[in-house]
Structure 1
């Protein structure tokens, strides 16, 4: 069960999100507080960010090392600044390899995607069912073996069908499809998802069972004014709000927050 974090606001150095908070993702990698499965997040990590001044595809940095063992992250995170950042630490689902191709965030065009959760016995159950629903363009996005990347491909499939609609519509369709497929095979799954196009953050807190994996958000904290953070666990003491179960949270570019039930 991974831990994830998204930031939208004024451009800041990455270390203010990844390293400096007392319960940063680095700490959550070895001492998580709200995980419902697993003990550590030591199977790699990834960071994605958008250029603060140019309309370019996002950048990513990934490694299969535990985040606390990466020798380059500290220097990079002090140097890089961005107003939209997604990051995660990974706890690999058993049977899904520890490989860079399986590290998140996944990226296509200007979209970054992260998934915290699992599909039970994915390779034996829903992998083929998901692939059968994908158009060729979406299917070619898949480079690794994880349930997470297949969910990303399914989201892209729905988004490509109606790119004029907001991403949360494609996310809603994706979660509905997963629910139907899982119910048909009486499977457990969970899908806390965080996506961005550099201008907005969209997140889901969703699972086939309760309690759903944890998800919280914080807006306009005194230490990070005019910004929103969405995270699996609070990064520091503050006025964090728990996202309702079975819901989609949208953070607009003006930081307006909308929550809709699934």
Structure 2
């Protein structure tokens, strides 16, 4: 269910991150190597990136497959950034809300993506959703499990949680309410990345000396420095540091 990637480091073209590597995110949209559920990610895609001097990222999202979008090739050839989050989508429910359901979701300086699905959606998530204010439920970006998870994460961010805590809380709550859910989440504010490995693959490639880190569903090349993140783990990363923290399920 989906593939995603976040990058912090020296300014590079989007194409260098998303389309040029041998096993790039573009290739993962039709030939992922380590995806555990689903085979093709053709239900939409999106890119979010930060421009120098502007804390609010730009986004480009579409409802169709990334390989069929001609504008994408031009965009990634000329746009350059030092902080990026991108995703290709395999929908939990086919056709649900089109472009509005494609990651990255955004609010202010934050970009967010979900790789996975909430088991027995939507009934199983109702007890967790009930904890949100009604006005936030009415403002869901789409009628999907990913949009609800984003609302849960955003609620915590607005309350002052750091990126890691904002991901860990919803993962624990949803895993308790809907066991066997796949909850690989990815979040950035342009200077820090937070991610969870919960039910699907997650890897990172760090080069602290170059001030560069990539966090992704799977490696986009065969560099031997890629490290796999253990399942049920929270990752937090800056350009020079990566920390891994085990995640435990909430008690029923």
TM-score scaled to structure 2, two decimals?
A: 0.92
- Checking the alignment, whether the CA contact within 8 Å between 2:195 and 2:235 is kept in structure 1 is yes
Aligned residues: 246
SS in 2 for 1:125: helix
The offset of 1:140, in angstroms, is 4.3
CA contact (8 A) 1:52 1:81 kept: no
Who is 2:185 aligned against?
Answer: 193
Q: Match of 1:50?
A: 50
Ranges of 4+ aligned residues in structure 1 off by more than 3 Å: none
Per-residue Cα deviation, 1:88-132 (whole angstroms, up to 9, x for no partner): 111111356150111110001111000000012212321x32331
For residues 191 and 214 of structure 1, what CA distance do their matches in structure 2 show?
Answer: 11
| Structure 1 unaligned regions, length at least 5 | 207-211
Report the Cα offset of residue 146 of structure 1: 1.1
TM-score, structure 1 as length reference: 0.89
Instruction: Extract unaligned runs of 5+ from structure 2.
Output: 248-252
Alignment correspondent of 1:17: 17
Q: Deviations over 1:1-58 (max 9, x none)?
A: 1011110001111000111000011111111111111110111100011112323x11
Query: Using the alignment, how far apart are the partners of 2:139 and 2:158 within structure 1?
Result: 13
User: Contact 1:25/1:88 (CA < 8 Å) preserved in 2?
Assistant: yes
Residues 137/82 of structure 1: CA separation in 2 closer, same or farther (3 Å cut): farther
Aligned to 2:35: 35
1:118-129 mapped onto 2 (5 Å cutoff):
118-126=117-125, 128-129=126-127
Measure the CA separation in 1 of the matches of 2:120 and 2:155. Answer: 23
* Correspondence 1:250 to 2:236: yes
